[in-house]
Amino acid sequence: MLKTTTLGLALLLALSACQDGQYAASTRHLAPIPPATLALMSAKGVSPADPILMRAYKKESEIELWKRGANGKYALLKTYPMCRWSGQLGPKTREGDRQAPEGFYAVTPASMNPNSSLYLSFNLGYPNEYDRSLGRTGAHLMVHGSCSSRGCFAMTDEAISELYAVVREAFAGGQRAVQFQSYPFRMTPENLARHRQDPNIAFWRNLKEGADRFEVTGAEPGVGVADGRYAFDAGDEATAGAVARKQADDERQVAALVASGTPAVRLVYEDGGQHRSFRETMVAAGGGLGEVSRPEALAAGPREVAMPAAGPVALAGKRDPVRGAAALKPAGPGGTEAERQRLMKIFAAAGDGRE
């Protein structure tokens, strides 16, 4: 009982450091975990107090929430669509580059901001030890509400309320830090084959080492920094062997995909992206997401750039498909300038483009 009380007081003290600002009187940070999510936890045999881990994917615009069970292994609980992230695929390197970070971060009780101007938020802890070793700059990289981003992951107010409550209860249950794994995309052989000549591929393969350990063991990987790279605990001999087999199998699949003609590409965004479900909502409802940063940058989706050995060559008009009613037709063949302008106005109605 004393341990629980002490932990609770420590958590309240950590949160009180963020109690200044215009939202200091708000109680939104005390909102309970929604009943449907509690029922999902119960069905999976976990409780709100059990530890959590999160994984983010920019290209897919999703954040996964994982819960640790009684067997000590993490299982996927729920996947949340991102409403907005900014920048490009690749790591954040400097203040003001609009990049959302990629890497392995730690969310602590002191990271929680109950009085955020973006409803609620928690800090990812950028720059971490790895970032600092490379002289990277920037601060206040968050997961927060709304649909506006300038280097953060915006989740909508409803989603951040739930995520905040889940993190809060894990801290109350004794977890000291929540590992947040941030990736450019899901580390599948298909993605690695397609992005094999991207300038960031060596960094992404380093991130995959940690992803592989988590996926093989179901346990949070121990993370350090050595020789300008992330370094991960190898574990015992059996674990190291299982991870090595997975990596070798993935490499064989990558080689087979390349041999079969899978093109090497780089995705270029106007300024980040969002999950297609939000894009469809914006078009169908003409808004409803609150402020949306730079809605015009979301209109066409990322542009594919071919990456041959001699250097990058743009593939004219080649873009990732946008599913559903939200697909915007380009001007020229296949679409008119008037149609493009009409749809752009729909996006603009969701927000004025300011951060």
Catalytic positions, written as ranges:
144, 152
Question: Is the CB of residue 172 less than 8 Å from the CB of residue 8?
Answer: yes
- 287 forms beta bridges with none
- Of 245, 204, 230, 215, nearest to 89 by C-alpha is 204
- Of 22, 173, 176, nearest to 110 by C-alpha is 176
User: Which string of b and e fits 276-309 if b means at least 16 CB within 10 Å?
Assistant: bebbbbbbeeebebbbbbbbebbbbbbbbbebee
Instruction: Estimate to the nearest angstrom the gap between the alpha carbon of 276 and the chain centroid.
Output: 15
Pairing of strands 178-183, 52-57: parallel
Q: List the end-to-end C-alpha distance of the chain, in Å, as a whole number.
A: 45
Q: Work out the burial of residue 24: count CB atoms within 10 Å of its CB; fewer than 13 is exposed, 13-18 middle, 19 or more buried.
A: exposed
- What are 174's two structure tokens? 């004794």
Residue 95 per-residue DSSP state: T
Nearest-angstrom CA–CA distance, 162 and 168: 10
- CB-based contacts of 77: which residues, under 8 Å, 6+ apart? 37, 40, 41, 44, 46, 52, 65, 66, 67
Write the single-letter amino acid at 336. Answer: T
Residue 333 per-residue DSSP state: T
- What are 147's two structure tokens? 């649909």
Write the single-letter amino acid at 28. Answer: R
